[in-house]
Amino acid sequence: MLFDKARVFVEGGAGGSGVVSFRREAHVPRGGPDGGDGGHGGDVMVVCDPSRRDLSALGRSKHFRGERGHHGEGSQRHGARGTELELAVPPGTVVTGLDGSVSELLAEGQRVVVARGGSGGHGNKRFANSTRQAPRFAEQGLKGESGWIELQLKLLADAGLVGLPNAGKSSLLARLTRAAPKVANYPFTTLEPALGTLDLDDRQVILADIPGLIEGAADGAGLGHEFLAHIERCRLLIQLVEVEPAEGDPASNYESVRLELSSYGGGLDRLPELLVLSKIDLVPPDRAEQLVAEWRNRLGSEARVLAISSATGAGLDELRREIVRALPADAPSAAAAPGEFEAEHRVYRPGEEEGFEVEPDGEGRWRVTGRGIEMLVERFDLGNHEALDYLEARLREIGVVAELERAGFERGDEVVIGETEFDFDPA
């Protein structure tokens, strides 16, 4: 079974906390602070690995966490960074991140960070100055990013075989390549896409057999709707139409598949098309030639129309040449070599997280919002009086206290910042 979709919970490792420590040294108050910083938590990242075939490895566990950063130690020893966690996925995987951003992993080694680890806290050595020579507080490490991400695999194929069930796609793939898909004389024999490589002279073309489409597939009917996304990366569609179908007629069957491709969207109906009339061993040779002519008249003189039989091998050599001819030799392959993909960068804008807002949250209660302020409060143990004094000074410097007072704050009112609630009585 092909696992082409996954939804997993990712969490970056929490940062290690700084430490309160004093060295033993004569004539130095309290021996002097020497607490080291905590290490950053490990990131969780998705990495493109060509040895993977689907997303089944992510189905065994739904939760993935980076390693926590190590805490700082005395003698200014900083904690080690948490180990990054790599989730290996096959080429062609589309990742929807925590913020809704979409990344496509196509080449070996390409990676994207999906959950950043939390930053480590500073040790008490960092807070020492001329007036605070023996700080007895340190910062706590921050939590890493966390949440659910979605992954979807879209097969990397040059050409896709499409058509109604029993049109002969699997048989054709088996004749053109070394693939061994299941072949049987009943609809929906193919339950998942199959890949094969067509070799001709010095060219290689990757073919994908997409499970049969039926009317309404784009809206969820049948099996085909599950795999229409796999056609998006193809540069050529090879549509098979039976010359003597058990149900319907060739023309209506052809239009049915074209309608589903158009309804799905994604530009599938605009891809170059090669029409293949399959199972011509069921009609006389002169009738096969007549059908090819009729279809060229129907689709236009420039339409590519061929007649083949997977059972007898008729027309397969011509089909191989036409497939290679339809795909330019200089066309870029989806599976680019390492280093050829364009690196993705996250853009940080100065001051984007520095602002804050103050708003009433009930009688005698105020809420302060702003990522920077929330992170600042999260870093300190409010049960430590020295840490609380330092935090109050920082809130004054930033302007939070002044903004609270302008909004009507009174000493002793309750203040909520992030998940922390406390009675604030600034000096």
pLDDT band at 340 (very low <50, low <70, confident <90, very high): very low
DSSP tag of 76: T
**What pLDDT is recorded for position 163?**
85
Residues in the chain: 427
CA nearest neighbour of 44 among 93, 95, 91: 95
135: confidence class by pLDDT, cuts 50, 70, 90: very high
pTM of the model: 0.70
405: which residues sit within 8 A by CB, 6+ positions away? none
Mean pLDDT on 173-187: 69
CB 276, CB 319: distance < 8 Å: yes
Phi-psi map region of 83: left, alpha, beta (phi>0 left; psi -120 to 50 alpha): beta
Q: Which two tokens stand for residue 37?
A: 């910083």
| More confident position, 222 or 73 | 73
Q: Which tens digit of pLDDT belongs to each residue from 186-222?
A: 455 455 677 788 888 777 788 888 776 655 444 444 4
Give the mean pLDDT of the chain: 82
Angle at 420 between CA 416 and CA 426, to 5 degrees: 60
Per-residue pLDDT tens over the stretch 266-313: 778 888 889 999 999 988 988 988 999 999 998 887 889 999 998 899
| Domain boundaries defined on the chain | 1-155, 159-326, 357-423
Q: How many CA atoms lie within 13 A of 53 on its CB side?
A: 6
In this prediction, residue 35 has a pLDDT band, given cuts at 50, 70 and 90, of very high
**What single-letter DSSP state applies at residue 217?**
G
Distance, CA of 301 to CA of 373 (rounded, Å): 68
pLDDT level of residue 332 (50, 70, 90 thresholds): very low
Position 123 pLDDT exceeds 50: yes
Q: What is the CATH number of domain 1-155?
A: 2.70.210.12
Classify domain 159-326 at the CATH topology level.
Answer: Rossmann fold (3.40.50)
Helices (H), 14-59: none
Q: In what order do the strands lie in the sheet with 44-48?
A: 85-89, 44-48, 111-115
Q: Find tokens 């994207």 and name the residue.
A: 112
Is CATH 3.90.105.10 the classification given to domain 357-423?
A: no
Strands (E), 27-179: 44-48, 63-65, 85-89, 93-96, 102-105, 111-115, 146-153, 159-162
> Which tens digits make up the pLDDT trace of 361-402?
888 888 999 888 889 999 998 888 899 889 888 988 888 888
Backbone CA torsion sign across 382, 22, 142, 71: negative
pLDDT reported for residue 346: 52
